[in-house]
Structure 1
Amino acid sequence: MDTIEYNKDRVAALPLLAKKLGWQGDTTLLQQALTHPTYFEGQRSEGDQDNQRLEFLGDSILGFIVARELFKRNPGADEGYLSKTRAALVCEGSLADLARDLDLGAYIIMGKGSLKNGEQNRNSILADAFEAVTGAIYLAQGLKPVEDFLLTRFTPELEAKVGDRYEDYKGLIQMLVQTLDERHVSYPLLAAEGPSHQRTFTVALVYCGKTLAKASGPSKKEAEQRAARLAWQRREEWLPKVGR
């Protein structure tokens, strides 16, 4: 079975994905967005197109829309904060997760050997396919549909879970407050309870004399990270009230 025959079912299934995406009309661009360069290895003809150009376009559109939303939603944030947050939102792992939500791996068209090796499920290939689909939606349907497509998927992260891509919530909080002034956050220990082999530490997160969160953990370090995470999740409540 050659590569074309091996991908036959994937090509035939594209209308299902088109319906899921709300795609209207011809699906040629959608098929191109899902065609990995390995599909043409040893058999590329003039005019054959893989998804790399659409990936380039989609990457730019994705970056613009996420950057614009971050700019709108974080009026007090500096360039460093915005850049790091955007990077967290559009990182390879994040885009691969979004591709999995759409089951893009089931539609990616690629070389027979690559498919046999399961490469259609690799993060890098899924992320590239998501970017290429973004570019294809823009070319086929325009800016508003691609905005709707992206914001439907990114709004939960933009609103409440930006920090979930980071493990260092303390770093996120410090970066956030530095947009206000040069003062630092402190984490005073409130309690250390339990036997020596099973201690529980409770700390507060304090900034500008105000306690923004309290949390407990099996170590002081873990308790601090948990307090920072709580403060991050509640930032829209306390940011307007501190550092003024």
Structure 2
Amino acid sequence: MGRLLNWPNGLGVRTRRPLSGPRSVGGTSPQDSIGGRSQSVASPFGAWKYEFVLPVAEGRLYRRIEGLITALHGGANAVRVPWPAPDALTLNEAGAKYAYVQERDGMPWDNVMPWANQRNWSASPPNVPVAANASVGATIIRLTADFWGYDLDMGDEIGFFPLHFGKYMITEARGSGEYRIWPPLRKAITTDDFATLKPVLAMKLDGEQAAELSRGVGYGEETTLILSEVFDYDVRDYFTV
């Protein structure tokens, strides 16, 4: 079985570029339409595929990048990818009430102590309970009115937890916390689950040629990775921690 790796701490993404999205199937010939148009329908089989560019690096950070690429073994293993979303709702828009110093420095444990690496918890947007059950493959979900649950619109991206790998884009706001999403749910959700603005994907390299890593004399150049989504149910069947 393959292994499921963790994304290295402190490793950011400089740019990301989508390489695939909703596919079309069932297109008809223009001759079949009186108006000369083709008809197509959205496919449930599309998957997220992105080109990630990692920053110029040296020292510890470069070692983590090289170690990640080596550990992915050309697609044999997968990695948890905390989704980089610089255009997501701000903490204020999401209904979080943090002081400036908390946003800047994060927050310690209840005993006022940081982690062993002397870092605090980072300030995060609140989570929203799921308002209605939805099965695997569903494209309509409902959230409660808490925080940002009624405030999403086309282009916003969410995930679910606990134990849910997937990133879903809102393609239609239907009102009162009901949304159409793409892709279809990779895992069923229930009213015991929560929606999050910080989705996590499981992804793997698209092959041996899907990583471009170069170390110059002074520093490591920008690294390019082409990663494809691993569906939640496949993660559980074929990958171990």
Task: Give the shorter-chain TM-score range.
Answer: under 0.3
TM-score of the aligned structures, taking structure 2 as reference length: 0.18
In terms of fraction of residues, the more helix-rich structure is 1
Choose between structure 1 and 2 for higher RCO, CA contacts under 8 A separated by at least 6 residues.
2
Structure number with greater Rg is: 1
In terms of fraction of residues, the more strand-rich structure is 2
